[in-house]
Amino acid sequence: MIAVYPKEIEKDIQAIKEDLTVFTDMVGWKFIPASSEEISVFYTSMGVIKDLENFGSQLAFIIDKELNLRGRLEDKDMEDGKLFGYNMNSVAELNNKMKDDVKIVLAEYRLALKKNNAKREI
């Protein structure tokens, strides 16, 4: 889990980290401070259509090892059928859609690992 945030809110981020530590193992979490310009460039580079609000978003994104934005091209709940950001305010969307999409990415990694191991000679 990676969170990119404006450098100006460092104190708020420390409080959030403390709150999260109560119910979450934070070992895999990374918090990255960035300038407003860096955040805008990063967000735009993902090709997301929705605008940032105060250099933040209520969306969570899945980015694979090759730095590709992952999601769905045929989502029945989206007007255009595309889902590339998961609403963090919706437990159902995170638990159902995002969880399933993460499983797909992990399955792809496992399959690629099996193929690579099968090609090795002993």
Q: Where are the alpha helices (DSSP H) in the chain?
A: 10-21, 36-45, 91-92, 99-118
Q: How many CB atoms lie within 10 A of CB 97?
A: 18
Residue 53 is predicted with a pLDDT of 83
Q: State how far the Cα of 1 lies from the Cα of 16, in Å rounded to an integer.
A: 14
Q: State how far the Cα of 4 lies from the Cα of 118, in Å rounded to an integer.
A: 38
The average pLDDT across 82-104 equals: 91
Q: State how far the Cα of 27 lies from the Cα of 56, in Å rounded to an integer.
A: 23
Residue 120 is predicted with a pLDDT of 62
**50-54, 78-82, 98-102: range with lowest mean pLDDT:** 50-54
pLDDT tens sequence across 22-53: 988 989 899 999 999 999 998 888 877 777 88
